[in-house]
Amino acid sequence: MFQAFSVKRSPRAIASIVFLLASIGFVGVDAAVAQERAVVIDIDNPNRILYPIAVPRGVDSNRKLSKQVQAIASFNLGVAGWFNILDPRSFLANLKAEGLGIEVQKWKDIGAFGVMKYQIAQNGDEIEIQFRLYEIEKGADPVLSQTHRGSDVRMLVHRWCNEVVEYFTGDSGFFGSKIAFVRPHRRRGKAIMVMDFDGNGAYKLTRNRSINILPSFSPDGFRVTFTSYMRNNPDLYQVSVNGGRPKRISKHRGMNTGAAWSPDGSKIAVTLSKDGDPEIYLLSADTGEILSRLTRDRAIDASPAWSPTGREIAFVSDREGGPQIFVMNADGSNQRRVSSNGNYNTTPTWSPRKNKRLLAYTTRDGRKHDIVTLDLDSGEMVRITQNQGSNEEPSFSPNGHAIAFASVRRRGGSGIYVVNADGTGKQVRIYKGKVTAVDWGPVAAW
């Protein structure tokens, strides 16, 4: 088994260790040398192995709350895609005697590379959690220590786990974000739903019994746009993520659908059919005023999606036969087809990683739909799902390292699943039931 090493070694030894660990996906060479870290998980290494980390339950008087913290932290790190959460039944350490510290050899003997510890204090509604993170090869001193206070235990743990992910990878986590989606009413119509990224706390954002579809988060996560037939026309509405009375911002005759926010939150790309064929327009995000028309084609142009830089927009068009993915500049110029697999490709979405020009979209092989990603610079296409039911409407996590999508399956169950954006790892179902139109919003502002 490979192990981490202390940075208190000679420069030559450190260099050898860094290159050794880089080969198995634990260390980014430049980052490790610059930051003097013994362990950094190289999230872009396709041959990486999962980092073994232990998340023991805290020794607290509030046993129920302590078990909740352990469950949340274990799920978060497990779904992040870079960690192997060790089975608590394998732990050898005396947790009560250790408290917030660790007895290094006990954890090394079970193969742990890292250990996460915490201690909870509660005074009425106020919760205080002391967190500690250890790297076994760095000894008994924590490499990361934080104390978080608040009334929402889930958000306190999410915040800490984001800090753990950033420590190991240098990148942000997605814990504390929300996902919007569409769920059919029991009797009729469809409702916009919002939930935490892990499937908890789902609630209805729309209260009418009409058809409500295609939710889209604003870049700050405070607002959601959607299309609704509540006034007998597919109009575009905007509402607070906490609910309330929706504001109608586009009510042109025909379609007002498929809204996508610009990265700066000032504009919305949307499909309008007010002049006949569905075309893509830019609207003011505040007033709904038409700013410009981006496409002019006899075919259907729909489903716009902004790049993270704001310089490009992907969309779907059937101008060359079946629906395919196209990309254009944000002013409508240089429209070109980018998808080449099959004759049916829809629902494009951009990875928010600004150092990549990566799209995910729905493709159809035969009668089944699947999720693929396409690197626009290299042309490399990666299949994210296959032989696992029908999978549609992908949406990237806020850090771009995971994808949520809607799935209909006979085995394993229908619902919303999350998987690593490179197609590796296990797919995790976070919501059960028939859903459509998944959109993953940003991480909450703490």
CB 186 within 8 Å of CB 204: no
Report pLDDT digits (tens) over 224-269: 999 999 999 999 999 999 999 999 999 999 999 999 999 999 999 9
Number of domains into which the chain is organized: 2
Report pLDDT digits (tens) over 64-123: 999 999 999 999 999 998 999 999 999 999 999 999 999 999 999 999 999 999 999 998
Longest dimension (CA), the chain: 73
Residues 249 and 289 in one domain: yes
Residue indicated by tokens 């208190």:
8
Residue 338 placed within a domain: yes
Residues 131 and 183 in one domain: no
Residues 354 and 423 in one domain: yes
pLDDT of residue 344: 94
- Which is more confident, 341 or 251? 251
Which of these ranges, 37-46, 92-101, 345-354, has the smallest mean pLDDT? 37-46
Residues 137 and 265 in one domain: no
Residues 165 and 209 in one domain: no
Residue 78 placed within a domain: yes
Residues 369 and 409 in one domain: yes
pLDDT of residue 188: 82
What would the mean pLDDT of 353-374 be, rounded to a whole number? Answer: 91
Sheet of 203-204, strands arranged across: 203-204, 190-196, 177-184, 436-443
Which of these ranges, 1-15, 25-39, 297-311, has the smallest mean pLDDT? 1-15
Residue 223 sits at φ, ψ, to 5 deg, of: -130, 155
pLDDT of residue 269: 98
Reported as a pLDDT band with limits 50, 70 and 90, residue 446 is low
- Which is more confident, 377 or 19? 377
Own/partner pairs, 193-197, CB within 8 angstroms, 24+ separation: 193/435, 194/224, 194/241, 195/431, 196/154, 197/397, 197/404, 197/418, 197/430, 197/440
Residues 351 and 237 in one domain: yes
Residues 65, 121: Cα–Cα separation, whole Å: 10
Beta bridge partners of 301: 317
Residues 117 and 140 in one domain: yes
Residues 343, 403: Cα–Cα separation, whole Å: 23
- Put residue 393 in one of left, alpha, beta given phi > 0 → left and psi -120 to 50 → alpha: left
CB 78 within 8 Å of CB 86: no
- Which is more confident, 49 or 7? 49
Residues 116 and 257 in one domain: no
3-state secondary structure of 116: strand
Residue 354 placed within a domain: yes
Q: For position 431, which CATH number holds? A: 2.120.10.30
Extract the tokens encoding 318: 């059937």
Sheet of 358-365, strands arranged across: 345-350, 358-365, 368-375, 381-383
Burial class from Cβ neighbours inside 10 Å (0-12, 13-18, 19+) for residue 368 reads middle
Residues 256, 283: Cα–Cα separation, whole Å: 11
What does DSSP say about strands 368-375 and 381-383: parallel, antiparallel, or unpaired? antiparallel
Element (H, E) at 65: helix 63-80
The per-residue pLDDT of the chain, averaged, comes to: 89
Q: For position 110, which CATH number holds? A: 3.40.50.10070
Listing DSSP states for 137-192 in one string gives: GG-SS-SEEEEEEES-HHHHHHHHHHHHHHHHHSS---TTEEEEEEEE-SSSSEEE
Residue 107 sits at φ, ψ, to 5 deg, of: -80, -35
What would the mean pLDDT of 128-150 be, rounded to a whole number? Answer: 96
Residues 205, 368: Cα–Cα separation, whole Å: 30
CB 285 within 8 Å of CB 305: no
Domain limit, last residue, from 151, 169, 187: 169
Residues 181 and 163 in one domain: no
Give the structural domain span for 151. Answer: 50-169
What Rg do the C-alpha atoms of the chain give, in angstroms? 24
Element (H, E) at 73: helix 63-80
pLDDT of residue 6: 29
Res 29 pLDDT > 80: no
pLDDT of residue 367: 78
Residue 21 placed within a domain: no
What would the mean pLDDT of 55-68 be, rounded to a whole number? Answer: 90
Residues 115, 119: Cα–Cα separation, whole Å: 14
Residues 114 and 240 in one domain: no
Residue 210 sits at φ, ψ, to 5 deg, of: -85, -170
